[in-house]
Amino acid sequence: MSQSINTNDLQAGVVGLGLMGCSITACLLLAGHPVVAVAPVPDDLKHAEDRITEHLRKSREEGLVKNPPEYYLSQVTITEDYNQLKDCSLVIECTIENISIKKSVYDKIERVISKDTLLTSNTSAIPISILQKQTLHPERFFGLHWTEPSHTTRFLEVICGDASDVSKAEFLYELSHQWGKEPILVRKDIRGFITNRLMYAMYREAFYLVENGYATVEDVDRSCRNNAGYFMTLAGPFRWMDLTGVPAYHTVMKDLFPTLNNDTSVPKLIDDIVKNGGRGVANAQGFHQYTEEEAKLWEETFKEFTYEIRKLALKYPADVVKKKLDKKNNLV
């Protein structure tokens, strides 16, 4: 590892205890870190402990860990007091996607932490080079982009901004293996990082197909689930092309690429939903129609699915073939 931190007892801080802050806290606790979880708004205190406990309970029920929630909860301090972050070697900011709010949070964090502490943001889309300009020590600032639910998914992007010290990012990259991640190191800042650039290209095309009458929302969803959905836990686009024959893709690209949508405006379909207050299953108002009960059941079904897909994913790590070869050659 490129940084001299004892990772076994590394104390981590999470600031912002909404949806993601709670699952990130659970992930760090399950990995054995003591965690200081800071609530920047009093509302967080109403739900944070219950949400974290529920993640820990379910993780035990699903066999991810052997210990009961109390074992991990003894390692977490949930507080409104930023001073409690003073001994943390790593702090993860997880507040709403708003630069001035994030800056006000960094001011409070940096008043307390030591200058060696790594400061990171779970921002979905704000460039790290912009966020790090809001801090006193931009070289120790990185994006740590998780995906929900953070304690079961193996996705994590470690992102450098223009002023980041790449060796510290390499340390975070190594460390995150202990959190059950198969991380991605983004060495140069780019808007949307890696995953959102890929996903938003798909979202844009999905809107194009629906808005122009080629298919319904239901059909587009079914197409993704039953095509990409069948291989993407094992293979990314490049492995997929290798598996299914590269020349065919070469041929199709020539004719298909010029016809793909490259509109730069926000599609009307999503604009209308958001302007009418739609948030998706959270308030039963999204692209699909839901009764309150159906929306709640979708939320529960998604939760159930994340544990199921995790079991399958664990059987197929990135080095699955190397492991098979090692076994065949009696190297393990």
Assess 69 for contact with ligand NAD (CB under 6 A). Answer: no
Q: Could you tell me the smallest distance in angstroms from the CB atom of residue 331 to ligand NAD? A: 38
Residue whose structure tokens are 């909404």: 18
Q: Could you tell me the smallest distance in angstroms from the CB atom of residue 93 to ligand NAD? A: 8
Assess 21 for contact with ligand NAD (CB under 6 A). Answer: yes
Residue whose structure tokens are 């975070």: 172
Exactly one of 11, 13, 14, 16 binds ligand NAD (CB under 6 A); that residue is 16
Token pair belonging to 59: 């993780």
19: left (phi over 0), alpha (psi -120 to 50) or beta: alpha
Contacts of 312 (CB under 8 A, 6+ apart): 233
**Is the backbone peptide bond immediately before 149 cis, with ω within 30 degrees of 0?**
yes
SS3 of residue 126 by DSSP: coil
Residue list 129-188, contact with ligand NAD (CB under 6 A): 146-148
Is 181:156 a contact under the CB 8 Å cutoff? Answer: yes
Q: Measured from the CB atom, is 9 or 81 closer to ligand NAD?
A: 81
Is 120:98 a contact under the CB 8 Å cutoff? Answer: no
Exactly one of 10, 12, 20, 156 binds ligand NAD (CB under 6 A); that residue is 20
Q: Which stretch binds ligand NAD (CB under 6 A): 11-19, 71-79, 169-177, 187-195?
A: 11-19
Token pair belonging to 167: 């060796």
Please list the alpha-helical segments (H only) found in 177-245: 195-211, 217-226, 228-231, 237-244
Assess 306 for contact with ligand NAD (CB under 6 A). Answer: no
Assess 24 for contact with ligand NAD (CB under 6 A). Answer: no
Residue list 121-140, contact with ligand NAD (CB under 6 A): 122-124
Exactly one of 10, 12, 17, 128 binds ligand NAD (CB under 6 A); that residue is 17
Binding site for ligand NAD (CB under 6 A): 16-21, 40-41, 44, 94-97, 101, 105, 122-124, 146-148
